[in-house]
Structure 1
Amino acid sequence: MTRRCALVTGGSRGIGAAIANRLAADGHRVAVHCRADSAAAKTVVDALPGTGHALIAGDLGAPGAAHEVVRSAVGLLGAVDVLVNNAGAYTEQPVATTSFEEWQADWRRLVDVNLLGPADLIWQFVDHLRHRVQGPQGARIVNVGSRGAYRGEPDAPAYGATKAALHSLTQSLAVSLGPLGVAVTAVAPGFVRTDLTEPMLVGPVADEVRRQSPLGRIALPQDVAATVAWLSSADAEWCSGTVVDVNGASHLR
């Protein structure tokens, strides 16, 4: 049986690394993408279960990067069946205290990375599916959005807005790609403990974050990865168009 192949963007750490690991454990060959930290991404690739994995680098906020990333993934893996758009950027930019120059720069960078990057990757991925021998049937796209798209991000409005747009893109493409047999879904995580967020979890802050969920704990990257892995499977086809909340009931809608 031919192993399925997956491209995971932003896979050098945190949630992306956990997704890559879970997909590899489920039998996928995985292309782990990073923006610039190839050493960290190589560490992830080397630790993945199974064989045949690959490393790809590229700044998805740059024009033309999506074409090179997908082309490289196809070249190294032979094909791509699952695209996980996990790469993203987060910037705090309170409107009352951010200069106009910083405001403009932040918005443009976050739109480029959080929305246009995934959109370009999806176009390139679908183009690959349409021209490969086995066709697009059974392929999966999973976008990593955010709880902030629904509850708002007062200090990071560009982040919240771009994640909301990614959720909308997910639902639009679920309809347009359904006839090709491609299921498109998203996950909306809440606060997740990663190496990037760990410095924030000191003293009372950790207790406050823990209290957000009635389950009484802080999410781990593996919590998100488990959901992404299931959405990437054949069993999840009928969830196409769904944005799955992965926030431990910390925000209900």
Structure 2
Amino acid sequence: MAIVTGASSGIGAGIAKAFGAEGASVIVNYAASKDGADAVVASITANGGTAVAVQADMASSADVIRLFETVVADHGRLDILVNNAGVAQFEMADGLTEDAFHRQFNVNVLGYFLAIREAVRHFGDGGGSIVNISSILSTHPSPGTSIYAATKGAVDTMTYALARELGPRGIRVNAIMPGYTNTRATEGNFAGELGDRLLAETPLGRFGEPEDIAPTAVFLASDDAHWISGESIRATGGARGV
């Protein structure tokens, strides 16, 4: 059983579909887009997989507790958590508001922690796998991305710290750092001169798609990655950041 947060579109949707194709039962979490989550569920089930959409605001402790308790009550077990739900607001520092700061940290950092806390409580004796979606911006931020990049830097640090803490319990924790990837959240960000520059920085010659990130998540959650923990793996098409 795998929970993928923020899975109604973009990278989360791609990962949920990939897990479904590999035979995992998938919880497609969404905050607001029920139609998007239902479409992901329909895609998984149409291909012979098993999936259910469950609403929860990942920045709300009550919602997160309800999500995990519902999943375990209905399905009996939890094996994998993919933390993907996130928000981004790109703006220069002198235009950023406190609300924008807190919203990004509440969803991107606190939300990951709340989900991990509940996953740890509900993993069985055999342990489990946690995959956190970070970003290339955590190590190579661009102007206007300071707060978002800071949240992803926190994710990278939390990933390593929790891998050390939870390893003795058989729980592996890793992160993926996607590069410049086409999603609804990045729509319009890759246009014009900036897009040309980002594309030139990507040796494989194109922007990523959610389907490019998903196989790395599947691998990290699989038994083939049983000796990998505490790593932040770049999935960037060779881009190093600008």
TM range (shorter): over 0.9
Instruction: Work out the CA distance in 1 between the residues paired with 2:99 and 2:188.
Output: 26
Moved more, 77-86 or 135-144: 135-144
Partner of 2:239: 250
Distance 1:136 1:169, change over 3 A: farther
Question: What residue is the counterpart of 1:216 in the other structure?
Answer: 205
The match for 1:81 is 79
Give the equivalent residue in structure 2 for 1:121. Answer: 115
1:57 aligns with 2:46: no
CA distance, structure 1, for counterparts of residue 190 and residue 201 of structure 2: 13
Offset from partner CA, 1:47-79 (integer Å, 9 cap, x none) = 103343111111112232211121122233322
- 8 A contact 1:31–1:77 mirrored in 2: no
Give the match for residue 176 of structure 1.
Answer: 165
**Partner SS state of residue 139, structure 2:** helix
**Secondary structure of the corresponding residue to residue 215 of structure 1:** coil
**Normalised by the size of structure 1, how large is the TM-score?**
0.89
Write the deviation string for residues 11-37 of structure 1: whole angstroms up to 9, x where unpaired.
000100000000111110000000111
- Quote the Cα distance in structure 2 between the aligned partners of 1:163 and 1:83: 17
Distance 2:159 2:212 in 1: 21
Separation of aligned partners in 2, 1:168 and 1:225: 22
Look up the SS of the partner of 1:22 in the other structure: helix
Q: Is the 8 A contact 1:12 1:37 kept in 2?
A: yes
2:223 equivalent in structure 1: 234
1:169 alignment partner AA = M
**Residue identity matched to 2:197:** E
Letter of the 2:157 counterpart: S
RMSD over equivalenced CA pairs, Å: 1.6
1:45 aligns with 2:41: yes
2:25 corresponding residue in structure 1: 29
Larger mean CA deviation between 24-33 and 86-95 belongs to 86-95
Q: Which runs of 5+ in 1 are unaligned?
A: 130-134
Q: Is the 8 A contact 1:54 1:77 kept in 2?
A: no
Q: Closer, same or farther in 2 for the Cα pair 1:214/1:52, shift >3 Å?
A: closer
How far apart are residue 206 of structure 1 and its match? 4.0
Query: Take 2:108 and 2:184, find their aligned partners in 1: how far apart are those partners?
Result: 20
Question: Match of 1:53, SS?
Answer: strand
Whether 1:92 and 2:86 are equivalent positions in the alignment is no
**CA gap 1:202/1:159 in 2 versus in 1, 3 angstroms:** closer
Q: Which residue of 2 aligns with 1:157?
A: 146
TM-score under structure 2 length normalisation: 0.93
Distance of 1:22 and 1:40 partners within structure 2: 16
